[in-house]
Amino acid sequence: MSTIKKGKILVVDDTPMILRIINDILKNDYDIIVTKCGEQAIKLANENIPDLILLDIIMPNISGFDVLKSLKSNLKTKNIHVILITGGNGENTEAEGYAAGATDYITKPFVPSVVKHKVDFIIEHVAIKRKLMKLALQNGEEIKT
């Protein structure tokens, strides 16, 4: 039986196993789009405007950081939340990710319930922001985001 999905999530990782695991964790609640390639991720983000992107940092050709920077410099995609998937090899990577505009990060190897919690939290955040903007619009008020 199909259920109403709470949002659309793009998952970007060059390891098929990781894509499969994350898809399994989230597929019941969200529409999932997956890709193994950074260039494709930028294209899919522009075409689909997902609510959230889970983005691996270390990938061939274009790194997760470069994908993040590209998304954040594009008006169309700059407000999409991004959770970085890091190798757990140092907090400097995570700090760099935050500085580049990431909302949160997940460290490999990850625990499914933690991934689910982080994703649910950000999607709730997105839903609340939408509701707020709708209310502000109805009330003829400005909203700073």
Partner 1 sequence: MIESVNEKQRERVLIVDDTPAHLRSLSKILTDLYDVIVAKTGEDAIEMIAKTDIDLILLDLVLPGMTGFEVLAKLKISEETKHIPVIFITSSDNHEDEMQGLALGASDYIRKPFIDIIVKMRIALQIQLIKQMKIIESYGFRDGLTGANNRRSFDQSIVREWSRAARNQEWLGMLMLDVDFFKKFNDTYGHLNGDICLKMVADVMRNTVKRGGDLVFRWGGEEFVVILPNTPLEGAVAVAEQIRENIAKTPMHIDGEDVFVTISIGVDSIIPKAESRKADFENFYENIDKALYKAKSNGRNRVEAAQK
With binding defined as CB under 8 A, does residue 124 bind partner 1? yes
Q: Tell me the closest approach of the beta carbon of residue 39 to partner 1, in angstroms.
A: 27
User: Residues in contact with partner 1, total (CB under 8 A)?
Assistant: 26
Q: Which is nearer to partner 1, 61 or 142 (CB)?
A: 142
With binding defined as CB under 8 A, does residue 131 bind partner 1? yes
114 Ramachandran zone, left/alpha/beta (phi>0; psi -120 to 50): alpha
Binds partner 1 (CB under 8 A): choice among 5, 29, 104, 108: 104
Pick the stretch among 22-30, 44-52, 62-70, 118-126 that binds partner 1 (CB under 8 A).
118-126
What is the DSSP track for 91-136?
A: HHHHHHHHHTT--EEEESSPPHHHHHHHHHHHHHHHHHHHHHHHHH
DSSP 76: T
Q: Tell me the closest approach of the beta carbon of residue 100 to partner 1, in angstroms.
A: 11
